[in-house]
Structure 1
Amino acid sequence: MKMAMATLLLLLLLSFFFNGLLLLLSAPIHSYAEEAFDVRQNLCTVTRYDVVKDIPGNVLLPSSIPDQCTPIHLNIVARHGTRSPTKKKIKELNDLATRIEVLLQDAKEQKLALQKVPAWFWGWKSPWKGKLTGGELVRGGEEEQYNLGIRTRDKFPRIFNEDYHPDVYTIKATQIPRASASAVAFGMGLFSGRGNLGPGRDRAFAVTSESRASDIVLRFHDCCQNYKAYRKVQEPTVHKLKEPVLDEITNALRKRYELNFTRQDISSLWYLCKQEASLLSMTDQACALFTPSEVSLLEWTDDLELFVLKGYGNALNYRMGVPLLEDVVQSMEQAIMAKEEGLAPGTYEKARMRFAHAETLLPFSCLLGLFLEGSDFEKIQKEQPLELPSKPPQRRNWRGSVVAPFAGNNMLVLYSCPDNSSSKYFVQVLHNEQPVPMPGCDNSDVCPFEVFKERIVAPHLKHNYNTLCNLKVEEPEPMSLTTKFSDAG
């Protein structure tokens, strides 16, 4: 009797186990994928730094810095931290509030079922309503830069072991307030506890800027007339490229919520999603309107725009950043000269730190050849056009959320090595504080300095900024949708 009971109990347990397993396997796969989906990592250049800084990028060959090499100089090119919406975007969000009221009123008049309408639509007002100015660094942006400053000092103690002097630790920013505020926040972290001001023992430090009208090192896009002409011609073409995706998602949301959305409504709601998720840590309102696959497509349209107008889509986009590349290499050469001449510590520059914009960081990353696919590095060396970033669900290296999030940065570390090593000086490239492969150096993050200059820098230096930007050229032709964009789908 006892044996029969035990057998029955075992059979029941096995039944529960297999039924549970079948239930698990038969559940929709997308539900588990969606649980793991984090919209905050898919906001293109509106992405917060802390959300993506530890996400590994392209496949990387192991670092090969020889033993006993020591860092002697650091270059940083950083984007400003998280900021509030600009004045133009604040108006767009106010217009969206009015538009939502119209959509709801139309639905009432047509006696449509309103139970599918998101509850937050009723009476919604923009969180930035009443703000007359915008674009300033927010508290979260200050913290991003302050903490980056602390981590940078901790990561490179040999570089930041001198008493502060503006010629030893150079900090530059553009004249745009959010960039200079980012430089200040970074410097406060970098030099925290190193001075005598206040209970935090802070210290004063200098942040210098060039005139906005002539800053060809950090705001080269503002001074490049040919680039402005290119943007003007190309923007309508890019918007046309994005239309099929916007139309597809517009139709999906019309059916889902039974409201008569337009393409512009969807564009504005996607922008609202990015602002809510990034600035307010809110993902259950505007972002919840879209499925993860729709978010991926919307992110891709942003990445396409970034690629064509600010990235690898046109060589002018990044070649106009040659003065910045020259400035970086010059600072390394001066550090090498100081090392070779045995100059006393504190008498030469050990770090040059720059705070600017996505329009600075993106071209600089392109000049280094970062985030390319396969043989693309050879193509840009030969000035051949690149294919557009692959459409989801295909994988792609070019993602604005990784390439240029808020506070995104490139660090170039110059190492001095013993005489018996393969090279006396090496350059390591870190992107968002992580080693990143350089196609020009066999996909390693570390490159002998002379090889770095020969393979990566020299091909760009044959281009002169004034010739690229101000020489009268023929009006640029808009890209052909049937040729260049035919592979976008």
Structure 2
Amino acid sequence: MKRAIHFVLLLFLSLLLYSYAEEAFDVRQHVSTVTRYGAVKGIADNSIIASNIPDGCTPIHINLVARHGTRSPTKKRIKELDNLEARLEVLLRDAEERKLSLQKAPSWIQGWKSPWKGKLKGGELISKGEEELYDLGIRIREKFPDLFNEEYHPDVYTIRATQIPRASASAVAFGMGLFIGTGSLGPGRHRAFAVTGESRASDILLRFYECCENYKDFRKKQEPAVGKLKEPFLDEITSSLVSRYMLNFTRQDTSSLWFLCKQEASLLDITDQACSLFTPSEISLLEWTDDLELFILKGYGNSLNYKMGVPLLQDVLQAMEQAIKAQEEKHAPGSYEKARLRFAHAETVVPFSCLLGLFREGSGFQQIQEEKSLERPPKPPQQRNWRGSIVAPFAGNNMLVLYSCQANSSSQYFVQVLHNEDPIPLPGCDSDFCPFELFKENIVYPHLKSNYNQVCMVKREAPEQKPSKLSQLFQLFSLGNDGKQTHKDEL
């Protein structure tokens, strides 16, 4: 009798825990790089204990590398959702023709229309994205008031963005928050500020991936292989959907529905339509396939992914060294840079995080220094460090804060890294408050052997033959209107 009661109690407790886990699961935290900043901000590793900044240490410079805020789907993806709308109608009609009951089909599918139907453009920063960066600017000023007490000058507070509208708009939203109340424009006492950027064709600091020919070749060859890698998992989930809802879903349907789920959850706060088609374990698996793609094409899966970002790391180091020089030589306030603020894309933030050695699995830091590829993140339900929702959500950012600490009448310098505003240990320091010389020696210098031109220059087995005048004439007449090469659905 006691055993029976014990068994019933265990069963009840298991069901209770399962029910709690289902309720606690928030899909908005599990949509990889489509995750909104507010959904994951503050979700830090509980094992990390932030360092106490010693008395006498003051911040003297900030380097910020941030992704743009939440954006609308791109034009290509809007078309995919239009196709999904038509496809769902076909699936329902097919079920009726086969005289299958539609009772198991979710009611929202019948008559569903894409929220982006009819939009001719896409990819722009939405109002939620503006708020993310605006609020970030306010919080940074509040956290580091002594760094932002100078009168604004573009050489003191440098703001850079890529020449992609959602990145430059993010920079503007951030600057409005950062400098609110310091100007004379409107009720908010806003002020004008400069946002600069390089040409898309030559921006090796923030769009190094677009200028790197070897990376573009790698990406073009690897994308089909990554798609093949994901197929068995999509097929497994597709089979479950077919049996659960009695609709003849295909692998492409599952992929499109997962994309819709991510857009609804992140942009519209809708979690009871496309996302409700999947169980939490299926969502975790789909999230992992997206994270795996991020790992292979932008992260630790190939050393080229982060080696091409070395110019950005050098730029960060240069800014710190200039700030130290200004401190040592006691330059007058307002005569030197105090913040270098950059706004770009996931393709920028992810490789930069890898250069710093963040979010690796196990003890892979030595492999990063040797610029080797790391093992892929483990499949759920195993725990993993590499999650796109944490590494590079919308508005995701890395801040490197340089501190000057007075000791025995001389200055010592330290670097603190904040990821999404939370302190995070640097693997070369085993602390989030790292001596500057150790930061240079263990984290920056091992990567400096990578020369951008050598890493990115297309390797040819034989010298390029100069084309004949006849072939040049043929090429002239065979060229299309648009010879530009761009990335598939840039983040």
TM-score (norm 2): 0.91
Structure 1 position 325 matched with structure 2 position 321:
no
Alignment correspondent of 1:167: 155
1:260 to 231, 236, 248: 248
Structure 1 position 153 matched with structure 2 position 115:
no
The offset of 1:440, in angstroms, is: 1.0
The offset of 1:473, in angstroms, is: 5.4
Alignment correspondent of 1:481: none
- For residues 297 and 420 of structure 2, what CA distance do their matches in structure 1 show? 22
CA contact (8 A) 2:370 2:446 kept: no
CA contact (8 A) 1:57 1:397 kept: no
The offset of 1:421, in angstroms, is: 9.3
Q: Trace 1:226-375 onto structure 2 (pairs within 5 A).
A: 226-375=214-363
Alignment correspondent of 2:62: 74
The offset of 1:26, in angstroms, is: 5.7
Relative distance call for 1:410 and 1:58 in structure 2 (3 A) is farther
Give the partner amino acid of 1:461: L
Structure 1 position 54 matched with structure 2 position 33:
no
Query: Secondary structure at the residue paired with 1:180?
Result: helix
- For residues 174 and 306 of structure 1, what CA distance do their matches in structure 2 show? 21
Alignment correspondent of 2:447: 460
Query: Secondary structure at the residue paired with 1:96?
Result: helix
CA contact (8 A) 2:355 2:368 kept: no
Give the partner amino acid of 1:225: E
Structure 1 position 119 matched with structure 2 position 111:
no
- For residues 49 and 21 of structure 2, what CA distance do their matches in structure 1 show? 29
The offset of 1:57, in angstroms, is: 3.4
Query: Secondary structure at the residue paired with 2:190?
Result: coil
Give the partner amino acid of 1:385: S
Structure 1 position 441 matched with structure 2 position 432:
no
Q: Which runs of 5+ in 1 are unaligned?
A: 1-16, 475-489
CA contact (8 A) 1:320 1:469 kept: yes
CA contact (8 A) 2:161 2:343 kept: yes
TM-score (norm 1): 0.91
Query: Secondary structure at the residue paired with 1:441?
Result: coil
The offset of 1:59, in angstroms, is: 3.6
Relative distance call for 1:357 and 1:421 in structure 2 (3 A) is farther
Greater CA deviation, 375-384 or 343-352?
375-384
Give the partner amino acid of 2:298: K
Relative distance call for 1:468 and 1:277 in structure 2 (3 A) is same
CA contact (8 A) 2:104 2:245 kept: yes
- For residues 449 and 63 of structure 1, what CA distance do their matches in structure 2 show? 15
- For residues 308 and 421 of structure 1, what CA distance do their matches in structure 2 show? 49
Query: Secondary structure at the residue paired with 2:428?
Result: helix
Give the partner amino acid of 2:68: H
Give the partner amino acid of 2:433: V
> How far does the alpha carbon of each residue in 1:248-303 deviate from its partner, in whole angstroms, 9 at most, with x for none?
10000000000000000000000000000001000000000000000000000000
Alignment correspondent of 1:450: 437
Give the partner amino acid of 2:454: T
The offset of 1:236, in angstroms, is: 1.1
Give the partner amino acid of 2:193: F
Relative distance call for 1:144 and 1:124 in structure 2 (3 A) is same
Alignment correspondent of 2:482: none
CA contact (8 A) 1:369 1:438 kept: yes
Query: Secondary structure at the residue paired with 1:27?
Result: helix
The offset of 1:62, in angstroms, is: 4.2
Give the partner amino acid of 1:343: H
- For residues 410 and 270 of structure 2, what CA distance do their matches in structure 1 show? 52
CA contact (8 A) 1:303 1:400 kept: yes
Relative distance call for 1:65 and 1:421 in structure 2 (3 A) is farther
CA contact (8 A) 1:61 1:445 kept: no
Give the partner amino acid of 1:345: P
Percent of pairs identical after alignment? 74
Query: Secondary structure at the residue paired with 1:300?
Result: helix
Q: How many residues are aligned here?
A: 458
Alignment correspondent of 1:415: 403
Q: Trace 1:66-105 onto structure 2 (pairs within 5 A).
A: 66-105=54-93
Alignment correspondent of 2:488: none
- For residues 159 and 371 of structure 2, what CA distance do their matches in structure 1 show? 34
Alignment correspondent of 2:199: 211
- For residues 312 and 214 of structure 1, what CA distance do their matches in structure 2 show? 24
Structure 1 position 379 matched with structure 2 position 328:
no
Relative distance call for 1:64 and 1:462 in structure 2 (3 A) is farther
